[in-house]
Structure 1
């Protein structure tokens, strides 16, 4: 379906209808905002349809990345199908080998909001399952951590379990493994999941992304799956 000239960063619903033995598509229907439809869905004989227009069957939703494009990638799952759903991988790896951060305040990993994955949920039900892992160390005795933010760049999601690691000034060159795991059924609409980190304000905290250790390349990042 040609997208034509739409508005970037907007969700659009797709509806189909029958005409003279052919299946045709209505023009895409824009949402009011990231999480609110302008035109509601309802069910007829168990099938989702356009409210007030029972001949229009709901096929799915997409989100634009420009005025003429959408995206379906491991970073941005922006094409939602209501039928024939399959697990879709999510993946964000930080290519920087290492960086420093000296605060207990949660922030995006490596101070980059690109360290996230994004999904679009057209109808309630799909499950998002994500795991973050990276490595860190500090020159003083303190605690460092990673977390996953749900539509937030500064707060850990209550839908995730998170581990922190105690650092030891007597072994400042030893890395600790840090991880967080989130499982959630998101509400309808657009959502992002941000990889977060917390360092030590009392010494030098070093975090690792993609690095070679013992001849093996290790990858710090976020991986998972959304089921649609």
Structure 2
């Protein structure tokens, strides 16, 4: 897997190279870069208080501590969390048709409305096995169930934007129980292309047209920040899926 390195606000991010020239795809790519770099910047602020208990080390709810303020900044305040939604899914054993639910985040970014779903899990980077119950199943539920079942509901959104982008983001926290060392951090960086390849291959086995990731990015925290932890957490991987825009009620022509 070919990766390009981006340095933004003293952050180091590795990202899969762009494969599309479509506007919505470029907007999705830019959104992911801005979100991940903003989350990294806010996470590093915890060190000002001698804290090494970063939000991404917990779960999805705690991760919202840095997601929401980042979205507010990059979307100029146009953001809502837990937006009520009607879900319609005719797939057997999936979401109940006409059920009530919530979209994790709604925001407006670069003239597009975004319906954003987020998942969080861990990946043991020294292993060659992707956790089925945590990583794969959560990704499939988000892309197959959640993001498909809101297609009809978002058509009634009234904001004057170019369309609704449904985006799924899975934060996969790389970890090892081993005590952190510089050699272990270096080993992770060397293995990162293979790790991303493994994740991509394992996430798209079921319904590949829906579940194949569009983007994969990784924020590499400063080595000293990693060495201060009890376990080793050398990278925050962000797997992204961006579906083509849906024309909604308020679409601007």
TM-score for both structures, normalised by structure 1: 0.32
TM-score by length of 2: 0.29
Larger Rg: 1
